[in-house]
A and B are shown apart, each in its own frame.
Chain A
Amino acid sequence: MLLSAEKISKAFGGFLAVRGADLAVDEGEIIGLIGPNGAGKSTFFNCLAGDMTPSTGRVLLDGTDVTRASAEAHAQAGVGRTFQVPITFEDMTILENVMVGAFLRHHHRRDAREHALHIIELTGLTTQASQRARSLGTPGRKRLEIARVLATGPRLMLLDEALAGLTPAELQEAIALVRRIHELGVTLVIVEHIMEVILTLAQRVLVFNQGHVIAHGKPDEIVRNEVVIEAYLGRGHRRRRAAP
């Protein structure tokens, strides 16, 4: 068991964004996390990545309790994540952005640079390497974030809607990239809205609604699951379907 989250809750003032969510990830898996907007997926991610401390519950990495560990410590332990809205280092070049990630495990500039260039090639950003990050559009930024995190040499990557807003061609490219990353041995947990991504990539799917997991299973089971459909489309859907 690489990562396990037990009964995670997170409250903001009176509002419970996540309540009693569980997750178990084995090494080498690709897990999909789906659910309507506002279901608490990003907050859950933040708790897994150490960006926020859960109000209750535990997060275990390789059996070690990392619930209260900082985001930095998580990264050092091999947990990487991207952000729903990319936070790129605008005035730094793409190469420099990725180097920041590379410096985690490569302390010398030359090594970090070499590793960064290698990652840039892997993620298809070579032609833009010396451009400022601010010159990129959203798809480019998302890809940069992926490259940057990949450069830290993570064992587990949490991708938060990293494939959103892409054209069909770009989407195929991105799916291929995620596959390549997986082949490198990285375990993945992916939040996505795009069903194609989930169906193609995920081996297991968890469905979030209102702060906790309402269903989990194989992708093709999930899309047919009544509870899940209701979560996305609302109660009225079932009535409409039942009516002659």
Chain B
Amino acid sequence: MKWGLLALASALLIYPFILTGPFYWDVGVTFLLAAISASAWNIVGGYAGQVSVGHSMFFGIGAYVPLLFYQLWGWPPVAGVPAGIVVSLLLAVAIGLPTFRLQGHYFSMATIAIAELIRIFVGTWDLVGAAIGLQGPAVGRAWWDLTFRSELPYYYIFLAVLGVVLYTTYELARSRFGYYLRAIKAGERAARSLGVPVRQTKLKALMLSATFTSVAGSLYAIKTGFIDPESGFGILVSVQMVIIAALGGAGTLLGPLVGALILVPLQTATNTFFGGGGSGLTYILYGGMIVLLARFEPGGMHELWDRIAPRLPRRSHAA
């Protein structure tokens, strides 16, 4: 396992030098962003088992606030990242506090309703650009505007953030908090009877997830230099996070990574082949995939691997 991780990390580190050029670098950046978002979702959706289908609300906030700071006061977008996190945290508490004392469906319904509410509202609010959205600095004034011409710097920044998210998740999963999360997912009533503070634990998980998702949104906005209600708060942003994590294996450390590894190239390929019109097809595909996953393999690739691996031919050790 450790060797595999080392190999993976190395591969990610040298990828831009193996597949060079703007196209491959862009795919790499898209992959990393998808992995970060999905890993963020994974904390509350995978580990804690609280299924958010409106996570785009945190992504969108993380994307809008930095660009708003630039638009209003000319600050470098990066300065707005902490503020984005704060707003996301407040929203997380506002949603989690009432719903985590109720059965799970309420939380899921609330996430989708609030995400929609925000999306519609932002689309009418002139301060944040209404339907048109916000833009970042077209040309960087200094290095801290982070407007790079090449994808390469973004790739390594995103990679570093992914590293932080994964490391945090890893440490968390091994800790008391992590065990409590898994217990809640596996049997909430039993968890309660063992003294697990269910509501608080779920809330903390949501807050952590919201933080990372917000950062992902900020990264997106800084890189593309643009955000609008659909790209920030749209349902497809939420769907993508969920399907990537679920496909790879929700509740596992590397599940989101695996999911992104499969879906991002797939999506790039269909976009290239079918062009813009293909996007309709992509979402039919997503919907179908999610249904199939839910029906046949809710544990994703990770569970599939667990089932198949023992049956694969093994090298026998010398007696």
Contact = CB atoms under 8 A, between A and B. Distances in A.
Interface of A: 49, 51, 70-72, 74-76, 80-81, 83, 87-92, 96, 99-101, 103-104, 107-109, 112, 145, 148-149, 152
Contact of B192 (A75, A89, A149): A75
Nearest to A86: B190
B194 A75 contact: yes
Contacts of A91: 186
Q: Range of interface residues on chain B?
A: 10 to 19
Nearest to A91: B186
A66 to B, nearest CB: 14
Contacts of A99: 179
A50 to B, nearest CB: 8
Select the residue from B176, B193, B197 with max chain A CB neighbours within 10 A. B193
Interface in B161-190: 174-176, 179-180, 182-183, 186-187, 189-190
B182 to A, nearest CB: 6
B313 interface: no
Contacts of B190: 83, 87-89, 145
Given A89-B186, A100-B182, 17 more contacts: A51-B189, A51-B192, A70-B192, A72-B192, A74-B193, A75-B192, A80-B193, A87-B190, A88-B190, A89-B190, A92-B182, A103-B180, A107-B176, A108-B176, A112-B176, A112-B179, A145-B190
B265 to A, nearest CB: 30
Contacts of B277: none
Given A51-B192, A149-B193, A109 B176 contact: yes
A89 to B, nearest CB: 4
Given A109-B174, A112-B176, A92 B193 contact: no
A87 B194 contact: no
A87 B192 CA distance: 11
A36 B294 CA distance: 41
Given A88-B187, A89-B186, A91-B186, A103 B179 contact: yes
Contacts of A104: 194-195
Contacts, number: 69
Interface in B194-214: 194-198
A140 to B, nearest CB: 16
A49 B192 CA distance: 10
Contacts of B194: 75, 80, 100-101, 104, 148-149, 152
Nearest to B194: A101
A194 B318 CA distance: 52
A51 B191 CA distance: 11
B250 to A, nearest CB: 12
Contact of A89 (B174, B175, B187, B198): B187
